[in-house]
Amino acid sequence: MFVDNEKFLTELAAYFRKASKSGSVTVTSKRYDAATRHQSPAQPIVETNLTMDPHPTSSEPGNPQHDYLVRAAFKGDKISTVVTPEDYTQFQSGYLYLLKLQMKALKVPKKRKATGSAKKSGSSKK
């Protein structure tokens, strides 16, 4: 399901809450090119302007000049959104906030104490 950025972050937070009980959330992102998005792999991609740089450099580091497609999946539910360069900083701050909340929710595994038989197996009697 294709949603806007705010709805995506809201749904992603709901996925994280559900996944804390069971399951996992998969989030992927990639560069988004609206001109070639509906072409099948069998069709060649035709560039209209070959003099244009396919990888434009950004004037500010961390602020891309192209759109990003972000997808999230939890069990059978899937959502996606396109992040424009104008919304990139706001989206990233919201996304990072969600990730930080999930890191705090992780539990530290308890260390198991060695049993008596494991200690004795190191020194054998002859």
Domain boundaries along the sequence of the chain: 1-36+63-104
pLDDT tens-digit series, residues 1-45 = 889 999 999 999 999 988 888 888 999 999 988 765 544 445 454
Of 1, 12, 19, the closest CA to residue 94 belongs to 12
- For the structural domain made of 1-36+63-104, what CATH number should be given? 3.30.720.10
Length of the chain: 126
> Contact 12/83 with Cβ under 8 angstroms?
no
Distance, CA of 6 to CA of 91 (rounded, Å): 8
Question: What would the two tokens of residue 9 be?
Answer: 């972050």
**Which pLDDT tens digit goes with each residue over 41-96?**
454 544 444 444 445 454 455 545 889 999 999 989 999 999 999 999 999 999 99
